[in-house]
Amino acid sequence: MNFNMSKCLEAFSLVLDFAEMDYFKINLNHSRRVAYISLNIAKAIGLSEDNQKDLFALSLLHDSGFTLSGLKLKPGFKMFELMPDHCIEGEKVISYLPFLMSRKDVIKYHHENHNGSGFFGISGDDIPFLSQIIHLADFLDINFNLAQLDSQKRVEAKHYVVRGKNKLFSPDVVDAFMSFAHKERFWADLLFYNIIEVLERIAPQIIYEYSWKDLIPISETFMKIIDSKSKFTYRHSRGITEMIEIMSDFYGFNTEKKLKLHITANLHDLGKLYIPNSILEKPDKLGSVELSEIRKHSYFTKLVLDKISGFKDISSWASNHHEKLNGKGYPESLTGEELDFESRLMGVIDICQALTEERPYRKGLTQREVIKIISDMANGGLIDKQITIDVGNVLGSRIR
Ligand SMILES: [Fe+2]
Ligand SMILES: [Fe+2]
Ligand SMILES: [Fe+2]
């Protein structure tokens, strides 16, 4: 099938940005604004179409290492400790994505300064050119709050770029930026209510002929980011993926459905990236406001996956994993008649996997305890009875 990678990455960037917002309080859509500024610079310089495509993808993913690097930090860490590490972790993310594998070091060096005063001490043209572009775009958005209309800030931003020529920024990139920085249109496009529409309009179309099998490693890369959001869920999606594989064989699903369910399992908690770690890792029982925040994660999973063409089934199966047969689940309060077999299966498996994992307020449960809880839930009309029996029988030996 034709797979639109631009749309997919734009959609994923929505939730990836939340992690950075959580750490740095940057306005939402940071990655989109960086992609927009980078593309404008690339056009001014006359970069080839292929370079523009890669630059667009890399800008959207430039901070995808934040979640992975955050996981390794001890409580009370200093923000600067995250910085070099997110470059290294982000570089690893790119190295797993088949369509960007040839773009070595662009993410690793996206914070390097032209004069060599950055984290890794690389200078001048030793810094990959695409990194030089992303660096300027990123710097502007972090320091000048470009999502909001502030004429004074624009003037300051332009001065800053000019002063940074040959020091922070490459002279070619600065000249390219200044060639369009006088245009009102450029700054207005960056405003928070314009950027999504504008970027969709100017984004290069990155279309690949992909099979479902080709999408497995890509979804797996995002699965690693999702699982690393919290130390309590570091194996959650991976565990569900393993369980769904076994249950797919048990039910004799065809290859296409197996692959789609595998991708579903990898991405079902994509919306967790939206939830601040202060809630995910809170040591006490959560209050009602925090619980309602947590419940939004499957809504965000749907918001993102609905944007990806060809993902209709995957989006429903993934975002329905907290729905209940009695209509008391979320985010849609669907009822038994509205929940298909795959959604019900995802729901049961998600509960089993979550119960075996440790949480801040409780230990992981034993096999006996898990089976007792899911049987009670099935008897109470919350989850599918037959699936609960099947899962209990097939996976029983795998659960502690
Ligand atoms: Fe960064
Ligand atoms: Fe950034
Ligand atoms: Fe979930």
> 59 C-alpha to center of ligand 2: Å?
8
Token couple for 361: 């307020």
Please tell me the number of the ligand nearest to residue 299's CA: 3
- In the chain, DSSP assigns E strands to 2-4, 207-209
* Residue 144 main-chain phi, psi, to 5 deg: -125, 15
36 Cβ neighbours under 8 A, 6+ residues apart:
137, 189, 190, 195, 198, 199, 202
- Tokens 């995250």 belong to residue: 82
- Tokens 């734009």 belong to residue: 10
- CB neighbour class for 192 (10 Å; exposed up to 12, middle 13-18, buried from 19): middle
> 37 C-alpha to center of ligand 2: Å?
12
Please tell me the number of the ligand nearest to residue 141's CA: 2
pLDDT tens series, the chain, 400 aa: 899 999 999 999 988 888 777 766 777 899 999 999 999 999 999 999 999 999 999 999 999 998 887 655 555 666 666 688 899 999 999 999 989 988 999 999 999 999 999 999 999 999 999 999 999 999 999 899 898 878 888 999 999 999 999 999 999 999 999 999 999 999 999 998 899 999 999 999 999 999 999 999 999 999 999 988 887 777 899 999 999 999 999 999 999 999 999 999 999 999 999 888 888 888 888 889 999 999 999 999 999 999 999 999 999 999 999 999 999 999 999 999 999 999 999 999 999 999 988 877 778 888 889 999 999 999 999 999 999 999 999 877 665 5
Nearest to 299 by CA among 266, 273, 279, 262: 273
- Tokens 């993934």 belong to residue: 318
Q: Which residues are 362's β-sheet partners? A: 359
Question: Helix 212-227 crosses helix 82-96 at what angle (to 10 degrees)?
Answer: 160
> 4 C-alpha to center of ligand 3: Å?
26
Nearest to 94 by CA among 75, 119, 68, 73: 68
> 62 C-alpha to center of ligand 2: Å?
6
Q: Which residues are 169's β-sheet partners? A: 165
Q: CA angle at residue 264 from 261 to 269, to 5 degrees?
A: 150
Separation CA 84–CA 93 (nearest Å): 15
> 163 C-alpha to center of ligand 1: Å?
21
Question: Which residues make up the environment of ion ligand 3, defined by Cβ < 5 Å?
Answer: 269
> 299 C-alpha to center of ligand 1: Å?
27
Neighbour tally for 173: CB within 10 Å: 25
Please tell me the number of the ligand nearest to residue 329's CA: 3
Count of helix runs (H) and strand runs (E) in the chain: 20, 2
Separation CA 222–CA 96 (nearest Å): 10
Please tell me the number of the ligand nearest to residue 111's CA: 1
> 76 C-alpha to center of ligand 3: Å?
27
What H or E segment, with its residue span, contains residue 84? helix 82-96
Q: Chain centroid to CA 227: how far?
A: 11
> 370 C-alpha to center of ligand 3: Å?
17
> 31 C-alpha to center of ligand 2: Å?
7
Please tell me the number of the ligand nearest to residue 280's CA: 3
> 118 C-alpha to center of ligand 2: Å?
15
> 144 C-alpha to center of ligand 2: Å?
13
Token couple for 301: 């999973």
